[in-house]
Amino acid sequence: MHDLARNTISLIDGKRADAATAGDKSNFTAPLSDAKRQQFNAAYPNRLAVEHTHSQHNPEKDWGRDTLRAIEFAFYVLNEQFGTPGPHGEKMRTITKHNTVVIASSISNGAAAALAAAEQDEHGLIDGVAVTEPNIQVAARHDLIVKRGALNYSGGSKPLLDYSTFANLYQPCAALSTRAATSALPFSAAFVPFAQARCASLGDKGLLSTTTPAAQGEEALDKLLAYGWEPGTIPLHVSHWSLATPGIAMTYSNAHGRFSVADNLCSFSFAYTDAAGNVIAPLPTLATIFGAANGVPPPGGINIVNNNNPAAFGGPKFDRISASPSNNKFDFNLDGALCQRDLVTGRGENAARVQVGMQQAQRRGDRNLKPTIIVHGRDDALVPVNFSSRPYYAQHQRVRGHKSEMVYIEVTNAQHFDALLGVPGYAENYVPLHVYFNRALDAMYAHLTAGAALPPSQIVRTTPRGAVTMPIGASNVPSWLPTPPAAERIVFDGNMLTIPD
């Protein structure tokens, strides 16, 4: 986080320091001249620039390359520590890819990086891949059909920014659906008038055809399901919008388009805000943000600010309690969300920049020749299976066929955020996915070191514990089967991926 007003940054060891003297030891300094920074500060004081959002590098396009570099660096460090000493005190390269097992492995964005690295691994650094819930995308193939029981999906893979900006429009309104009434993280009464205003504004702009809040909530939810979210995600849309969707929309729209913080894209910025939503100077927590933040804002008191909040309502304010300037309605700033959506679907100059960046982040799906296990929770509302793992696996099967060593495991009653399983609502209804991540690592290691067979692609049926106080046991999270019955197998045939219901 670069505090632009005080010109301080985090050093690579996490300590805060002056950006002017930090040089290469800065973890991130916004690429702005002093004059440009001061001009921005005059217009928008107390704002923060964030590396993923404002580096102007579109980092996602290089995740595979960076993962491969990390492996090379790991070999260097291992040899420096444990390599055989040479005649002149140097360390010999005795730990190499030829005598070391390398598994590319992570979750979410890191899982996508592992898959990208496997596709780009021209020097055989990686032996196998084991990942969960990857934010992976391939060029859309609309001839692909995903069939799960009576549900058919043919929309193909979608980029995170695409479906996140779509969700950012409709998730707040969908909260009013009666089907979402059992939300895993129920919204407060204060949320309702904002959600009703969002529904009304969507109707005013022709994006909903119904006219009552109740009907509009149902229509908004139907739009999310038609776009490709699984029915099991219905209870999660409210909490995911509250926790993640707007931050992803802002971060990736800026990142893909390589916009500067000074570009004020869609009139959004990052800042600390007070209880009334007004921008304030950074809190002391900024000193520990290096260790407390995950890289995608807003963390620890930092919020998204609507710089276009009408002056009559106090000017720039915490986006969630601000108004749209086009209608002066407190509708969660629909104008800003529509601006971000237009970057994905529109034809303007800014949209062209973003769309090029989105394409640069797409993977092929057919070049990963490594043994691979992909695990994904069916109820993932943040990185839905229809946009990511399912089409990626199908594309690989389409090209590699019987030569494929890729396995896809889909877990019922599992969603994206295991960290929320201690929260009432999540705890009773969902199981941890991370246990399957560990099992995927174990299975891949056994395959690479002992020749153990990889499991067939299949559905794993879990049982939620039903109460916060209940322990999670083996019956809640059963292992996948070495030879599942035909009815439980995930199969690909021609252009159809069939998932057990």
Active site residues: 108
Prior bond to 471 cis, omega within 30? no
CA dist 14 and 435 (Å) reads 31
Distance, in Å, from the CA atom of 265 to the CA atom of 340, rounded to the nearest integer, reads 9
Is 131 buried (19+), middle (13-18) or exposed (0-12) by CB count in 10 A? buried
| Strand-by-strand arrangement of the 496-499 sheet | 151-153, 145-148, 496-499, 491-493
Residue 312's Cβ-count burial label (10 Å; 0-12, 13-18, 19+) is: exposed
The total of other beta-carbon atoms located within 10 Å of residue 288's CB is 13
Is residue 404 a contact partner of residue 396, using CB atoms and an 8 Å limit? yes
The encoded tokens of residue 273 equal 């805000």
Hey, which residues does 69 pair with through a beta bridge? none
Residue 48, SS3 per DSSP: strand
Using DSSP, state whether 496 is helix, strand or coil: strand
Fill in the DSSP letter of residue 26: B
Please answer whether residues 112 and 136 qualify as being in contact, where contact means their C-beta atoms are separated by less than 8 angstroms.
Answer: yes
Count of alpha carbons within 13 Å of 32, Cβ hemisphere only? 27
Task: Assign 375 to helix, strand or coil.
Answer: strand
Query: Residues in the chain, how many?
Result: 501
Q: To which H or E segment does residue 21 belong?
A: helix 19-22
The encoded tokens of residue 226 equal: 């038609």
Q: In 3D, which of 286, 209, 303, 349 has the Cα closest to residue 14?
A: 286
β-strand partners of 151: 148
Three-state SS at 360? helix
Q: Are 41 and 4 in contact (CB under 8 A)?
A: yes
For residues 279 and 272, the answer to whether their CB atoms sit within 8 Å is: yes
